[in-house]
């Protein structure tokens, strides 16, 4: 089986809410799928762990380029972004190559520090996805991009191939896909940005993009938002909308999409803890603003196939200081 996917990016909107500028829009993902007739034994669901890999952080974004020491502040915020998805539950089978098994995938270099990387025979633990991260300077309108790689291939036992291609999930491929499983992916961040790497929203200021917001958004793409077959199987191209049952129930009908079907349409709104907010998974964000996953965003992930048993509450660090009051204030200021 071969899976082809282009990275999905997010841009910043330096102007006032509702007037995004400088967007970079990717082409629609290409998908070549084959159905595997493999018996899958049901397992109890587990929380998903995001394991970050800094092996290709070669241009000093998360690792000091002089001392080689981790840049703890930045890595801590990245881990906090991952905590948003910690209560997604499913059972992802481990990828553990045995004699006669092999698999590989090509990813964009996370620091754009060289040609695409071919990863071969990685071991990935159960209920875990591995995400390679890095950053480098680029055009200022782009905040970052993410993907699950391309040219994914596997051979060996039937169970091993299933573990690689779908992590043991059923019906993940083709026009009628209803679930999703992924080995991991990569994220690139634009180092030219004057990022805010803090936790408390009180430190946000106009002109500085919020790293926590962008990291959370990009992780969402690796988890299938805008890229999974089970996402595309629920798109009505005649109305340019997403028709998943959970998302439609939250939104009150089919949800408008951007023209590339990778995001909610610009300006689609929902709420966080009852507070109005523009959706996290639209194409852009406003500098100086923190956006969290909304009820609509979580519903979209549920439609993709993740078992979202309740609206996940982020790690307690997200609620430090005046954060919750800050979210309320920002939510009221958003253009609806």
Q: What is the pLDDT of residues 96-131, one digit of tens each?
A: 999 999 999 999 999 999 999 999 999 999 999 999
Residue 156 pLDDT more than 80? yes
**Mean pLDDT: which of 41-55, 188-202, 305-319 is highest?**
188-202
CA–CA separation, 11 and 262 (whole Å): 13
Closest CA to 193 of 219, 215, 168, 178: 215
Q: What is the pLDDT of residues 61-74, one digit of tens each?
A: 999 999 999 999 99
How many other CB atoms are there within 10 angstroms of residue 175's CB atom? Answer: 9
Lowest mean pLDDT across 138-147, 167-176, 259-268, 320-329:
320-329
What are the structure tokens assigned to 210, written together?
């919020």
Lowest mean pLDDT across 6-20, 139-153, 179-193:
6-20
User: Which residues neighbour 238 within 8 Å (Cβ) at sequence distance 6 or greater?
Assistant: none
> Mean pLDDT, to the nearest integer, of 12-39?
31
Q: Say what the pLDDT of residue 309 is.
A: 72
Percent of the chain, pLDDT > 70?
78
Q: Is the pTM of this model over 0.85?
A: no
Q: Say what the pLDDT of residue 47 is.
A: 86
pLDDT bin (cut points 50, 70, 90) of residue 250 is: very high
DSSP assignment of 206-237, as one string? Answer: TT--BHHHHHHHHHHHHTTTTTSHHHHTTEET
> Mean pLDDT, to the nearest integer, of 77-100?
94
What are the structure tokens assigned to 326, written together?
């800050």
């Amino acid at each position: 089986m071969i899976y082809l996917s282009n990275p999905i990016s997010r841009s910043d909107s330096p102007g006032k809410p509702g007037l995004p500028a400088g967007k970079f829009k990717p082409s629609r993902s290409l998908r070549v799928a084959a159905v595997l007739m493999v018996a899958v034994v049901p397992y109890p669901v587990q929380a998903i762990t995001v394991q970050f890999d800094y092996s290709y952080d070669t241009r000093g974004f998360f690792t000091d380029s002089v001392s080689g020491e981790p840049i703890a502040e930045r890595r801590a915020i990245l881990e906090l972004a991952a905590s948003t998805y910690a209560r997604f539950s499913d059972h992802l089978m481990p990828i553990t190559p045995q004699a006669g098994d092999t698999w590989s995938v090509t990813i964009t270099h996370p620091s754009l520090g060289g040609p695409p990387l071919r990863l071969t025979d990685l071991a990935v633990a159960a209920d875990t996805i591995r995400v390679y991260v890095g950053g480098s300077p680029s055009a200022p309108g782009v905040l970052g991009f993410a993907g699950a790689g391309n040219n994914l291939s596997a051979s060996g036992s039937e169970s091993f191939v299933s573990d690689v291609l779908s992590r043991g999930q059923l019906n993940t491929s083709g026009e009628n896909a209803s679930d999703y499983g992924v080995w991991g992916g990569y994220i690139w961040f634009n180092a030219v940005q004057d990022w805010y790497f803090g936790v408390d929203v009180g430190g946000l200021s106009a002109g500085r993009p919020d790293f926590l917001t962008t990291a959370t958004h990009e992780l969402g793409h690796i988890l299938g938002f805008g890229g999974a077959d089970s996402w595309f199987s629920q798109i009505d191209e005649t109305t340019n909308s997403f028709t998943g049952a959970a998302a439609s129930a939250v939104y009150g009908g089919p949800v408008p999409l951007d023209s590339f079907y990778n995001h909610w349409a610009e300006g689609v709104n929902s709420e966080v803890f009852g507070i109005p907010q523009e959706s996290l998974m639209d194409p852009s964000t406003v500098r100086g603003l923190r956006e969290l996953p909304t009820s609509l965003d979580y519903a979209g992930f549920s439609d993709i196939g993740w078992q979202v048993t309740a609206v996940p509450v982020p790690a307690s660090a997200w609620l430090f200081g005046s954060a919750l009051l800050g979210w309320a204030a920002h939510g009221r200021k958003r253009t609806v």
